[in-house]
Structure 1
């Protein structure tokens, strides 16, 4: 390939890990401004770094589309390798012991609305007491949480995500199941609905942005029942206000519904569709002292909050492969 930039090509041996980290961060944020803020440098420093990498790889790396820096295919391939290199180097450089009271390390958790509402707040409170210097970043996992782990864009994934292939490890935080949320004036609010009555409800379907289908919907379809909602919404946020004073019924994970419900009535769903909420990480970080400490802290801080509103009963169902709530 003929180089399009007449300036001398940088020496690859002069590219340090800080340069690669800047590239990875820009790939994740899609913004020169945000990347500079996170790195606490001037935006011109980020631009200079990217310009040097563009000359090195003879590729634009990013193109501007709709006010966002969109990576080229070559850029994404470079970032995938660079992120692993940076992560492996950090692992080699990490001390054999970890002192939470004095650390200023950065830890990135990928999760979605459920976890940000129920699991992250008690974790933050615990961190402020035990590791006040630790820099915590929460990123949206969507349906790409495992890819974020593999690309070292996140240190930990939290949610109902299970992948069976080698390279991923997991730890269960709680078991969930679905429940019905409705206005207290609803004719069925007096007792747990039977399946036949449930099918006749005016349903609010939470689509989670179209990234996946909720397990209870899949189970209804497997039973041969058509599920035609009256309203579709992308997120559980605001659902209690939406159904207040109406005959609408929303089927929501029980712990989340218990947190959101306010004056709404919460009843067991006749299609509970149980699933596990997990912490997921890679073998690369499995034995790192900071990562072990963080996983233990998350489990300890979340347990009282989750068990306080735990769904009654238990279910032996341990089916895997469920991609989301």
Structure 2
């Protein structure tokens, strides 16, 4: 079928080429051979009388016309998906579906781990592919390669055009081995007996394990805003690794409280209130508006929201 001389069968290929900016990656995304995508690109170039993809060295860039087509083609693909999926329902007990969810190891451990128990019972055909929070995640959501993203609102400054559901608030607590010498006698988070609180001077002398991922760490920025510079001896890209590195050492770390309480007993850790006001983080769920009406997607969002409510 064609409209205005444009073969609508070329629309998915055009969409993939505009988003991937590479024939090979577009072919992989479409599960087609590279020659087929190259042939489709040649037809698209003839239709538009434009190169669309311009090679500079080893890298392809979009032509000016192709740049102008990105948003209209994205909207057209979203409209097609809505037309195709609108009549379909989702039966979790029998239907099969795979979702790509971007989440930190902290969210995976605290929120998604208990969710998996419910999914195994209610929706045995549902599969989750968990991917890390990376730069460019917003574009992954827009083009549909990522179904959901679970992350703090402060990380989502480029996602204002996406749909959002707030999940829960989380605070950071100071965590250390129970036998850590510098904190001996300091009052613990849930202590019922008096003790000496940790002060800022001591905080800045302690050897820290800190998160150092691709995206800026919210906590570190909040400390810097108050003029507090920590002594960082170890960095890790894994939230879950931080508390597990502490047993048997003098190291300390700021850890999300729910994660800290989950591992404190088995890892012989003590929890302390922060001596400085670092505020809370707000965890939220983000998705593309084009997915809002998808019944399977809506079902998963509902299950995640229900699991988050159990944490509050």
Give the TM bin, normalised by the shorter chain.
0.7 to 0.9
Deviation at 1:175, TM superposition (A): 0.8
Give the distance between the partners of 1:81 and 1:72, measured in 2 at CA. Answer: 21
- CA–CA distance in 2 between the matches of 1:17 and 1:105? 24
Q: Work out which of the two has the higher radius of gyration on C-alpha atoms and give 1 or 2.
A: 2
CA deviations 1:69-93 (Å, max 9, x no partner) are xx73329957766554333311121
Among candidates 271, 274, 297, match of residue 266 of structure 1? 271
Aligned pairs for 1:1-325 within 5 A: 13=7, 15-16=9-10, 19=13, 35=28, 45-55=32-42, 56-57=44-45, 58=51, 72-74=60-62, 82-96=73-87, 98-100=89-91, 101-161=93-153, 162-163=156-157, 167-187=161-181, 188=183, 190=185, 191-192=187-188, 193-209=198-214, 211-215=215-219, 217-261=220-264, 262-271=267-276, 272-304=278-310, 306-307=311-312
1:111–1:141 CA contact under 8 A, matched in 2: yes
2:164 and 2:286 in contact (8 A); partners too: yes
Number of residue pairs matched by the alignment: 281
**Contact preservation (8 Å) 2:211, 2:235:** yes
Structure 1 stretches lacking a partner, 5+ long? 1-10, 66-70, 308-325
Q: Name the stretch that deviates more: 260-269 or 161-170.
A: 161-170
Contact 2:162-2:287 within 8 A present in 1 as well? yes
Q: 4+ residue runs of structure 1 moved beyond 6 angstroms? A: 24-28, 30-33, 59-65
How far residue 284 of structure 1 moved from its aligned partner, in angstroms, is 3.2
Is the Cα contact below 8 Å between 1:111 and 1:145 reproduced in 2? no
TM-score w.r.t. structure 2 length?
0.73
